């Protein structure tokens, strides 16, 4: 018996004996386990590569190999993508958002294993990016393809992708609540009882998987010890403002580098330019090598010297201003290093670089305040480090709640809730003003293809304009006389609107309404005197097939009050969209989207 037959028998049995809601719960547990397993494979693969290459090479010939290894890793990633995967690498969370917005949650099969291979090589060899994005994308691809095998609808498939994201983050940080909030904020899931329970089950399943493989190891092993003082609130407000400005710098720098590399047609040229760039940066600033969690932990524990001891200039780290200068350099150049890694074709995520920059920013602000002796009592540098991470996450990722709960959950720092909320809210507000979309969603957001918590906008985004275009309208050419129009258009059409087309260029010149024809269509003395040009008028608006998204189409109907609008394809008449058909399609998509 074939595998397909076994699957069909299972699906029939499932429909008979397992209700849909309970089946989703079971699948969400499986998705959480798979996401946790993906996190284990990616993390262990990266650590294995780092241990392999750092064994004797970097210890003995440190600076030289800091320059070489990132280029080797990016080269291997390029060769694997081209000759083994045979696809262009896609960045994790943006690729997942695109699948939800434009592919009905369907992700390609190679995405289930592509990042498992390429992300550890990119980061293990020193690429200045993180592993969270590839882990989320791997889990999302596994859940997407699993839901297709199990014949689940679009709404359930999207929910399971959210479960995969929650599972991946829960496994990495051992922070199940923050992981659920991350899935809701980043993937714009509706928080209802129907969605909450699967997210909880996936998050718990993934964290259990993580404990099984990693034990009690925690990515950010720190417990809050310094007390939060209410008198420090103005300083946390200041940190929130600075975090917001740095978030804008991060996002704009990242976007400019992405645009620069997109203009370079050859992937080999991108590899060479980006690879050499990251090699030079890592050579002069070794802390930019890899994810950077060791640096974060050193700062949280108040050990900046340990984080900066490999500086090539062999500077005196007993001088506090040298430490502050080196830390500010890390803040400025980490996003450059990450952007170069992505531009060169590396596979990774932006989550770890955000935490890296945020931790350094918070520590540096506290160090400057304490050095200048602004206050009689010094501020807590460790607390500022944690709050700085929250501020950057809220601004760069546009995920303020995730930022608050992640730091509070992984550090047990719930007594820092107030400063976490203050810095997160301020940073998010400032960044949102200058950058309406996060680094994950900026490209989709610019195109109007991003799913958001606005359900109307989300449903319209999922609709395809071609599915609502009607093309059975009788065409009238501009030189046609009234008599020909009556004979060849009115008598053969059941429509009350006629497009007027230029016979040579096929361009739309205007429209004629049946109401405009009624006063003259029975006056035969006008049959040879009046032409379509005399009768036509400009349409209230036109829809451009290749440019206008469904949100724009709906907006044009609302602004004009029209019932039919003409559609142009590359400037040529293509058909009409009627408001009635658009609303019918909208209602159907809304039902599919809601899973009801």
Tell me the pLDDT tens digit for each residue of 345-395.
888 888 888 998 998 999 999 989 888 876 667 888 888 988 999 999 999
Mean confidence (pLDDT) of the chain:
82
Query: How large is the average pLDDT for residues 478-503?
Result: 81
Calculate mean pLDDT across residues 299-310: 72
Q: 3-214: which CATH topology?
A: Clc chloride channel (1.10.3080)
CATH superfamily of 230-453: Clc chloride channel (1.10.3080.10)
How many residues does the structure list for the chain? Answer: 596
Residue 411's SS3 state is helix
Where is 501: in which H helix or E strand? strand 497-501
Q: Give span(s): CATH 3.10.580.10, the chain.
A: 458-594
The 3-state secondary structure of 337-368, one letter per residue: HHHHHHHCCCCCECHHHHHHHHHHHHHHHHHH
Q: List every span in the chain annotated with CATH 1.10.3080.10.
A: 3-214, 230-453
- Residue 228 phi/psi, 5° resolution? -80, 130
Q: Residue 58: pLDDT band by 50, 70, 90 thresholds?
A: low
Task: Report, as an integer, the average pLDDT of 179-200.
Answer: 80
Q: Average pLDDT in the 237-265 region?
A: 90
Look at residues 426, 352, 424 and name the one whose alpha carbon lies nearest to residue 185.
424
Characterize the bridge pairing of strands 543-544 and 564-569: parallel
Min mean pLDDT across 47-61, 225-239, 262-276, 376-390 is at 47-61
Percent helix, strand and coil across the chain, each rounded to 5?
A: 70, 5, 25
Q: In what order do the strands lie in the sheet with 543-544?
A: 469-470, 572-578, 564-569, 543-544
Domain 458-594 sits in CATH at 3.10.580.10
pTM for the full predicted model: 0.75
């Amino acid at each position: 018996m074939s595998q397909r037959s076994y699957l069909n028998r299972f699906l029939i049995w499932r429909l008979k004996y397992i209700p849909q809601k309970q089946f989703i719960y079971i699948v969400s547990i499986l998705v959480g386990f798979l996401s946790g397993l993906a996190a284990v494979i990616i993390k262990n693969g990266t650590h294995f590569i780092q241990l392999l290459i750092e064994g004797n090479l970097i210890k003995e010939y440190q600076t030289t190999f800091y320059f070489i290894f990132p280029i080797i890793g990016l080269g291997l990633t390029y060769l694997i993508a081209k000759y083994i995967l045979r696809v262009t690498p896609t960045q994790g969370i943006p690729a997942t958002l695109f699948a939800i917005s434009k592919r009905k949650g369907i992700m390609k099969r190679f995405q289930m294993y592509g990042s498992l291979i390429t992300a550890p090589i990119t980061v293990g060899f020193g690429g200045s990016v993180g592993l969270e994005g590839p882990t989320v994308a791997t889990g999302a691809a596994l859940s997407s393809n699993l839901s297709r095998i199990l014949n689940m609808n679009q709404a359930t498939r999207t929910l399971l992708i959210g479960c995969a994201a929650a599972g991946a983050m829960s496994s990495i940080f051992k922070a199940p609540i923050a992981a659920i909030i991350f899935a809701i904020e980043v993937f714009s899931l509706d928080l209802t009882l129907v969605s909450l329970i699967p997210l909880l089950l996936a998050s718990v399943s993934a964290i259990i998987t993580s404990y099984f493989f990693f034990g009690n190891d925690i990515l950010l092993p720190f417990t809050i010890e310094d007390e939060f003082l209410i008198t420090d609130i103005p300083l946390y407000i200041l940190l929130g403002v600075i975090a917001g400005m740095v978030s804008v710098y991060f996002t704009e720098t990242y976007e400019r580098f992405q645009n620069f590399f997109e203009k370079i047609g050859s992937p080999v040229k991108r590899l060479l330019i980006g690879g050499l760039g990251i090699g030079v940066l890592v050579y002069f600033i070794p802390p930019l090598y890899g994810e950077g969690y060791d640096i974060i932990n050193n700062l949280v524990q108040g050990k900046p010297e340990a984080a900066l001891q490999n500086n090539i200039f062999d500077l005196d780290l007993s001088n506090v201003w040298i430490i502050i200068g080196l830390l500010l350099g890390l803040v400025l150049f980490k996003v450059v290093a990450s952007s170069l890694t992505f531009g060169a074709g590396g596979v990774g995520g932006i989550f770890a670089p955000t935490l890296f920059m945020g931790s350094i920013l918070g520590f540096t602000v506290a160090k400057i305040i304490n050095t200048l002796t602004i206050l009689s009592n010094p501020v807590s540098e460790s607390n500022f480090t944690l709050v700085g991470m929250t501020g950057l996450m809220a601004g760069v990722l546009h995920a303020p709640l995730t930022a608050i709960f992640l730091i509070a959950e992984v550090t047990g720092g719930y007594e820092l809730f107030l400063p976490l909320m203050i810095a997160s809210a301020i940073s998010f507000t400032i960044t949102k003003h200058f950058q309406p979309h996060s680094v994950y969603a900026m490209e989709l957001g610019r195109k109007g293809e991003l799913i958001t918590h606005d359900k109307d906008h989300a449903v319209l985004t999922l609709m395809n304009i071609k599915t609502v275009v009607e093309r059975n309208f009788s065409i009238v050419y501009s030189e046609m006389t009234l008599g020909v129009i009556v004979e060849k258009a009115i008598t053969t059409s059941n429509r009350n609107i006629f497009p007027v087309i230029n016979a040579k260029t096929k361009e739309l010149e205007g429209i004629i309404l049946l109401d405009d024809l009624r006063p003259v269509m029975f006056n035969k003395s006008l049959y040879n005197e009046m032409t379509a040009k005399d009768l036509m008028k400009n349409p209230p608006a036109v829809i451009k097939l290749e440019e206008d998204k469904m949100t724009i189409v709906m907006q044009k109907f609302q602004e004009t009050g029209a019932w039919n609008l003409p559609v142009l394809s590359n400037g040529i008449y293509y058909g009409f969209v009627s408001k009635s058909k658009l609303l019918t399609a909208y209602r159907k998509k809304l039902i599919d989207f809601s899973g009801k």
